[in-house]
Amino acid sequence: MGIDVKGQVALVTGANRGIGRAIVDSLIAHGAAKVYAAVRDVASAAPLVAAHGSRIVPLELDLQQPATILAAARTASDVTIVINNAGVLRTATALDAGAIEALAYEIEVNVNGLLRMAQAFAPVLKKNGGGAFGQLNSVASVKAFPGFSTYCASKAAAYSLTQSLRELLAEQGTHVLSIHPGPIATDMANDAGLAEIAEPASLVGEGIVAALKAGDFHLWPDTMAKQVGGAYADFARNVVEASGGE
Ligand SMILES: NC(=O)c1ccc[n+]([C@@H]2O[C@H](COP(=O)([O-])OP(=O)(O)OC[C@H]3O[C@@H](n4cnc5c(N)ncnc54)[C@H](OP(=O)(O)O)[C@@H]3O)[C@@H](O)[C@H]2O)c1
């Protein structure tokens, strides 16, 4: 069942820059009543407040600090759409001496952070009638890139958990959306050496609004992502989405 963001109360992690910022802009542009800008440093949400006024509510949230997630879930008790966008990338290949340490950090933020968010916000979304939970995965969730091997492994793990959450949260009427961008023009893409082929972050924000409305599970928002998603579509439909779901 699709969800129109108009009138909804959303929360976006990593809202202060990059893709998170673009998601907030799209949610507001399409009529969200309120967006909790969940950020590590609340001062970093000031430009969002300047742009959108009182519909933005800055909130402290660090995916590595469970207490901040639990506190945010208590404060954002009226939330109906949660988008877990925040994530980290280390450019470590599988053969680098630092690969295990890089993977541990990426798992801590990209995977444990997702688990903490899902566990903290599932009861809130249930109380508010179901709503939606979106997770920023990647084309790297289904196709490894050796230059950042450990990041890809963490995004594959996050995608696996997102699939389970789709079926688990369906029982309470919460729609789950798995978002799989290719290279998007942000600090992270710059750090990964992808600036030349990166596309605008607004594609992700607008894609999320449309995918929520359509009730889709997978979103492949940009040119590279659409190519990967197109090749993956049969498997997605006949295997991943064949059971359960809201
Ligand atoms: N850009 C791409 O090409 C691309 C492609 C596919 C998927 N993605 C995914 O999209 C998401 C956003 O990426 P991006 O490109 O916008 O990244 P970015 O420009 O590097 O921004 C990362 C965001 O995550 C926040 N963050 C980092 N660690 C955090 C933590 N422990 N707790 C809470 N927030 C934390 C950052 O906050 P601070 O400002 O406080 O550091 C920042 O807001 C990530 O999950 C990424 O894996 C990106």
20 touches ligand 1 (CB under 6 Å): yes
The structure's pTM equals 0.98
67-82: per-residue pLDDT in tens? Answer: 999 999 999 999 999 9
Q: Is 49 exposed, middle or buried (0-12, 13-18, 19+ CB in 10 A)?
A: middle
Q: How far is the CA of 85 from the centre of ligand 1 (A)?
A: 7
The residue-averaged pLDDT of 141-159 equals 98
Alpha-carbon distance of 219 to 237, in angstroms, equals 13
162: tokens are 């997102």
Q: Is 183 in the pocket of ligand 1 (CB under 6 A)?
A: yes
Fill in the amino acid letter for 117. M
Cβ of 187 closer than 6 Å to ligand 1, yes or no, is: yes
To the question of domain 9-240 being in CATH 3.40.50.720, the answer is yes
Reply yes or no on whether the pLDDT at 230 is more than 80: yes
How many angstroms separate the CA atoms of 18 and 233, rounded?
27
Q: Where are the beta strands (DSSP E) in the chain?
A: 9-13, 34-39, 56-60, 81-84, 132-136, 175-179, 218-219
110-120 exposure pattern, b = at least 16 Cβ within 10 A, e = fewer: bbbbbebbbeb
Strands (E), 71-110: 81-84
Question: How many whole angstroms from 135 Cα to the centroid of ligand 1?
Answer: 12
Distance 16 CA to ligand 1 centre (A): 9
Q: Is the CB of 135 under 6 A from ligand 1?
A: no
More confident residue, 114 or 192: 114
Contacts of 78 (CB under 8 A, 6+ apart): 9, 34, 128
Binned at pLDDT 50, 70 and 90, residue 20 comes out as very high
Sequence-distant (≥ 6) Cβ neighbours of residue 1 within 8 angstroms: 175, 215, 246
* Residue type (1 letter), 106: E
**Residue extents of the structural domains in the chain:** 9-240
Tell me which long-range contacts 155-164 makes (C-beta under 8 A, separation of at least 24): 155/87, 155/110, 157/107, 157/110, 157/111, 158/110, 158/111, 158/114, 161/111, 161/114, 161/115, 161/118, 161/135, 162/114, 162/135, 162/137, 163/240
The protein residue whose alpha carbon is closest to atom 44 in ligand 1 is 87
Q: Of ligand 1's atoms, which has the minimum distance to the CA of residue 89? A: 47
Ligand 1 closest atom vs CA 181: 6
163-203 pLDDT, tens digit per residue, is 999 999 999 999 999 999 999 999 999 999 999 999 999 99
The pLDDT of residue 33 is above 90? yes
C-alpha 22 – ligand 1 centre gap (Å): 12
pLDDT at 246 over 90: no
Does the beta carbon of 109 sit less than 6 angstroms from any atom of ligand 1? yes
Nearest-CA residue for ligand 1 atom 43 is 14
pLDDT attached to residue 244: 81
Torsion-angle region of 211 (φ positive above 0: left; ψ -120 to 50: alpha; else: beta): alpha
Q: Of the residues 24, 152, 188, 202, which should be mutated to test ligand 1's pocket, given the most ligand atoms within 8 Å of the CB? A: 188
pLDDT value at 1 more than 80: no
Distance 189 CA to ligand 1 centre (A): 10
